[in-house]
């Protein structure tokens, strides 16, 4: 059994009805957008919410956050973005470290859409992108929710690579349904969530044209000595001045819980929420609780007007 009941399905927020695309710094990014019925929303200072998915085989904005869209769109203008190289977004070769590469393209997307400032919610790889974006473009970010974030997580006791990362590498070397199932199994405590349908859906996306080349390019940006250090976001955590909610599954086998401690210590405005009996996909295994906690955190944001210059 999962920790709580999943969020209710709402067919008004279907994948087809919410899908959009736009230019973003020379490439096209795919995203899904929905807004509150009452306009304009003043929750969380009236800022939109951008949600950034993880980086496993077949990952996409919809696979990570599609079921959660109705809840968040009831409170915020919500955009689920396929990061470069994933989902239906373009798959260019990664320039520099992936977090910076993706963050720059997400900001270009916001520019294209005329959005000045957002809240960011990122899972795993998307957490790293969100962190890099907030460090590089602090004026574009309200609050951060980071779920077992890549780059910021620093394993104090667990070996590297972790079990989940090793299974990810195994799929890259041998992209079969069996190796994909082994990877997905490390994402969750509740193994009933690892269905044949999920494996088939993710396998189709993971082996789509260009997907494996994009995964290799992304992965090399964390192994190449010239670009890897830029992805060690924990070294810059002390510079982050945003209110930050770190969320972790207690049984996370990808970025284990001990990886949260350095970030919690270094980020001045950080707090940590741990979900019991939960792995790397808190938004799925603890769906209702995750939605409740993150919405409350984001809703506390107050957008203050800019200071008048001294005469």
Q: What is the 3-state secondary structure (H, E, C) of 42-94?
A: CHHHHCCEEEECCCCCCCCHHHHHHHHHHHHHCCCCEEEECCCCCCCCCCCCC
- Cβ contacts of residue 296 below 8 Å, gap of 6+? none
- Cβ contacts of residue 240 below 8 Å, gap of 6+? 131, 134, 135, 144, 267, 268, 269
Q: Are 21 and 305 in contact (CB under 8 A)?
A: no
CA distance linking residue 46 with residue 40, whole number of Å: 7
CA distance linking residue 244 with residue 298, whole number of Å: 9
From the DSSP assignment, how many helices (H) and strands (E) are in the chain? Answer: 13, 8
Whether cis (ω within 30° of 0) applies to the bond prior to 40 is yes
Torsion angle, alpha carbons of 2, 295, 28, 242, to 10: -120
Distance of CA 63 to the CA centre of its chain: 11
Measured CA distances, 193 to 24, 152, 181, 186, 187 (Å)? 34, 27, 11, 11, 10
**Catalytic residue set:** 280
- Cβ contacts of residue 251 below 8 Å, gap of 6+? 189, 277, 278, 279
């Amino acid at each position: 059994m999962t920790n709580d009941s999943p969020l209710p399905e709402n067919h008004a927020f279907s994948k087809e009805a919410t899908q959009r695309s736009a230019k973003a710094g020379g490439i096209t990014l795919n995203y899904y957008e929905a807004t509150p019925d009452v306009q304009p929303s003043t929750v969380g200072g009236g800022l939109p919410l951008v949600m950034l998915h993880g980086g496993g085989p077949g990952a996409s904005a919809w696979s990570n956050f599609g079921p959660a869209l109705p809840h968040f769109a009831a409170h915020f203008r919500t955009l689920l973005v396929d990061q470069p190289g994933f989902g239906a977004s373009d798959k260019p070769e990664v320039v520099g470290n992936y977090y910076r590469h993706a963050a720059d393209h997400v900001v270009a997307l916001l520019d294209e859409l005329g959005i000045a400032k957002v809240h960011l919610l990122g899972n795993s790889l998307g957490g790293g992108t969100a962190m890099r974006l907030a460090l590089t473009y602090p004026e574009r970010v309200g609050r951060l929710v980071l779920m077992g974030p890549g780059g910021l997580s620093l394993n104090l006791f667990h070996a590297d690579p972790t079990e989940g990362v090793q299974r990810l590498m195994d799929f890259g070397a041998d992209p079969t349904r069996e190796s994909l199932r082994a990877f997905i199994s490390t994402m969750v405590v509740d193994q009933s969530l690892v269905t044949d349908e999920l494996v088939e859906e993710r396998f189709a996306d993971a082996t789509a044209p260009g997907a494996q080349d994009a995964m290799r390019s992304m992965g090399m940006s964390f192994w190449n000595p010239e670009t890897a250090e830029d992805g060690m976001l924990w070294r810059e955590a002390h510079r982050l001045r945003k209110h930050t909610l770190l969320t972790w599954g207690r049984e996370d086998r990808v970025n284990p819980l001990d990886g949260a401690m350095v970030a919690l210590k270094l980020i001045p405005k950080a707090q940590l929420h741990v979900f019991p009996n939960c792995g790397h996909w808190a938004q799925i295994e603890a769906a209702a609780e995750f939605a409740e906690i993150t919405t409350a955190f984001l809703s506390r944001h107050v957008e203050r007007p800019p200071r008048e210059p001294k005469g």
